Amino acid sequence: MTLSLAPSSHRGSWLVAALLVIGCAPATTPSQMQDASPSREQVLVPDRTLVVALRAEPKTISAGSFTSSGITVATPIRLFNAALDLIDDHGVAMPYLAERLPQLNTDSWRVLPDGRMETRYQLKPGLAWHDGTPFSAEDFTFAWRVYQVPDLGISALAPVSEVEEILAPDDRTVLVRWKGLYPEAGVSQIGGYLRGIMPFPRHILDGPFQEARWETFTALSYWSRDYVGLGPYRLLRWEPGAFIEGVAFDGHALGRPTIGRIKIVFIGDSSTAMANILSGEIHVAVDSALQFQHGVELKRLWDSSGEGVVLTHVASWRTIFAQHRSELSTPPAIRDARSRRALAHAIDRGSLNDAVWDGQGIIANTFFAPSSYFFPQIDEATIKYPYDLRRGEQLMETLGFARAADGVWTSPVDGKLELTLTTGSASARNDIERSVLASGWRQAGFGVQETVIGTAQALERESQATFPSLLVTGTGLSERNLIDSFASIAIPSAANRWGGENKGGWSNPVYDRVRDAFARTLDADDQVRQRVQMARLLSEELPAIPLYFGVNPIAHVASLRGVSQTSSPGTTGIFSWNVHVWELN
């Protein structure tokens, strides 16, 4: 996703878009990718091992959403999985397992007279799972049965919730029948992250599935050390706490990867990751392995030496979710929009951006991308909360609070207003962010306790939804996921295995109606109007306080070639989308 950088005194010079290139590695275009099967000469070159650093060990490398975690693991999921389509760094979908993609108002995408729809895919011939078992359309119908199990926590989430059934008229035809109009029906993924309508290997999972013991099913070794997928790399070895190894898959739908082997190592400390990439022990650091300040330092070093490339991209929408569940929220006043507005007025976003991102983050009043063609209408409708302590005081007074002798807001009903500010995981950047926010709020009269979930707990989605007051965290840039971050149907709970995006548990029937209409609208102009309605309502009720679009550095050595260097507005910009054509010299 690329976001245009609006003029501001808080902007630096080295990030002017979501993906800014610092280096000179060549880009790969979508057309090149589709014809990117390695030559015979490339295949015969002795296999190199590409070493990739992640910040944390994933719980799974599956694209099955019910096994996902709260920490970004986009790269390992991409390496071992394939979908019907592949989303490039420009947000363009192209055929992957399918020979072609559905086109509206053709036999491949039909709107039926009763308002339902059908999309049809023809699979490429000769596809196989990593273990050599032939892949067929029945693997999608089996996955559909898995998705429908409520205990697995995905049946109520889009796009699965929008599907009526998935059929296999023959081994190579996948027919998806939709309950109604759904504008994203022509793309099987969610935001390019290889999540959505994904197949499962029927020959491996059907037996355990028939037993209907869901805790056992989700704990199968298949999801980790015995994983079998369809992606460019086949799992070779998973050493818990240390690394994951993969080997190029000869049967990959887009051809055998040029780099023969891959090793993913887990480095929780950003300084250690930087030292390893400088020493040549690792070739690429992805998925938050490097903190922002280390990316800045690495850029400075490599600018002069030419030994590597640093890419920075907008990785997430940073926001502060408020806890709206009455059984969890403390203090109760946090559920009143006036208290959240007062908190928003007490945030100096410019100073916060300077402290956390060296002025390079893009300050946000909403989650819609400033570079989107419809953003002027969004911006006009969105209520802003500039730094204004006096306005914040007025709001607190309307709630019946007054400053006590120690300066902390106090009411006869609730007593002292003591908030808990939770950070999603520990890092130098998050520590600075949390500290600056807490300090500003204390000066404005709010009692604030600071706490950190921690990396291990952050892997458990329940911890991201059961915070007591405020959670400052990043949300992925898929528009669908961002919209669902405030939908009642996406509230995490034990019933859905904590699988929803709505971490704060906010519920509003008006928002739900607009969101549901948006999900079934095919007309682009109508969708813009619905986006405007959602943006206005969110800025009025402020269930979460927007901060900025956060940036993450991705670094790779100069000997790694073929990495995409650009990203377009409104896309998630998956760094490793074309990993199968990378070359390591």
Render pLDDT for 402-420 as a digit per residue (tens, 0 to 9). Answer: 999 999 999 998 899 999 9
Position with higher pLDDT, 410 vs 554: 410
pLDDT score of 258 more than 70:
yes
pLDDT score of 56 more than 50:
yes
Residue 480 placed within a domain: yes
Position with higher pLDDT, 369 vs 117: 117
pLDDT of residue 550: 79
pLDDT of residue 455: 57
Residue 381 placed within a domain: yes
pLDDT of residue 194: 53
pLDDT of residue 74: 81
Q: Which structure tokens are listed for 418?
A: 């003591």
Mean pLDDT of the chain: 86
Sign of the four-CA dihedral 507, 508, 513, 518: negative
Residue 347 placed within a domain: yes
pLDDT of residue 447: 96
Q: Which residue has the tokens 């951006």?
A: 353
* Residue % of the chain over a pLDDT of 90: 63
Q: Which residue has the tokens 């890092």?
A: 427
Residue 523 placed within a domain: yes
pLDDT score of 123 more than 50:
yes
Half-sphere exposure at residue 363, Cβ-oriented, CA atoms within 13 angstroms: 22
Instruction: Tell me phi and psi for residue 50, to 5 degrees.
Output: -85, 125
* Cβ(147)–Cβ(164) below 8 Å: no
Q: How many domains does the chain have?
A: 1
Rounded to the nearest 5 degrees, what angle is found at the Cα of 316, between the Cα atoms of 311 and 317?
Answer: 140
- Range in 197-206, 330-339, 440-449, 563-572 with the lowest mean pLDDT: 563-572
pLDDT score of 456 more than 90:
no
What is the domain-level CATH number for residue 387?
Answer: 3.10.105.10
pTM (2 decimals)? 0.71
Query: For residues 1 and 546, what is the distance between their CA atoms, to the nearest angstrom?
Result: 18
pLDDT of residue 271: 92
Residue 136 placed within a domain: no
Residue 151 placed within a domain: no
Q: Which residues contact 156 (CB under 8 A, 6 or more apart)?
A: 150, 489, 496, 500
DSSP tally for the chain: helices H, then strands E: 17, 23
* Residue % of the chain over a pLDDT of 70: 86
* Cβ(472)–Cβ(316) below 8 Å: no
* Cβ(567)–Cβ(573) below 8 Å: yes
Q: Residue 212 class from Cβ within 10 Å (0-12 exposed, 13-18 middle, 19+ buried)? A: exposed
Instruction: Tell me phi and psi for residue 506, to 5 degrees.
Output: -75, 140
- Range in 103-117, 151-165, 212-226, 411-425 with the lowest mean pLDDT: 151-165
pLDDT score of 25 more than 80:
no
pLDDT of residue 72: 55
H or E stretch at 547: strand 544-557
Q: Which residue has the tokens 């991308």?
A: 369
pLDDT score of 15 more than 50:
no
Residue 365 placed within a domain: yes
pLDDT of residue 565: 65
Position with higher pLDDT, 367 vs 566: 367
- pLDDT, one tens digit per residue, over 160-219 is 888 999 999 999 999 999 999 988 888 887 544 556 788 999 999 999 999 999 999 999
- Range in 27-41, 105-119, 200-214, 346-360 with the lowest mean pLDDT: 27-41
- Supply the DSSP symbol for 506: -
* Extended beta strands in 340-486, E state: 362-363, 402-403, 409-411, 415-416, 418-423, 447-452, 470-475
- pLDDT, one tens digit per residue, over 211-220 is 999 999 999 9
Kind of pairing between the strands at 49-54 and 261-266: parallel
CA-nearest of 509, 521, 427 to 474 is 427
* Cβ(471)–Cβ(320) below 8 Å: yes
- Supply the DSSP symbol for 111: E
- Asked if residue 159 has a cis previous peptide bond (ω within 30° of 0), the answer is yes
Position with higher pLDDT, 291 vs 84: 84
Domain that residue 330 falls in: 316-551
Give pairs for 272-280: CB < 8 Å, separation 24+.
273/53, 273/55, 274/298, 276/53, 277/53, 277/308, 277/555, 277/557, 280/557
524 confidence band (pLDDT: 50, 70, 90): confident
pLDDT score of 43 more than 80:
no
* Cβ(111)–Cβ(117) below 8 Å: yes
Q: Which residue has the tokens 């002027």?
A: 376
Q: Is 167 helix (H, G, I), strand (E, B) or coil?
A: strand
Residue 558 placed within a domain: no
- pLDDT, one tens digit per residue, over 348-384 is 999 999 998 888 788 999 999 887 889 999 999 999 9
Work out the average pLDDT over 509-530. 93
316 confidence band (pLDDT: 50, 70, 90): confident
Position with higher pLDDT, 398 vs 461: 398
158 confidence band (pLDDT: 50, 70, 90): confident
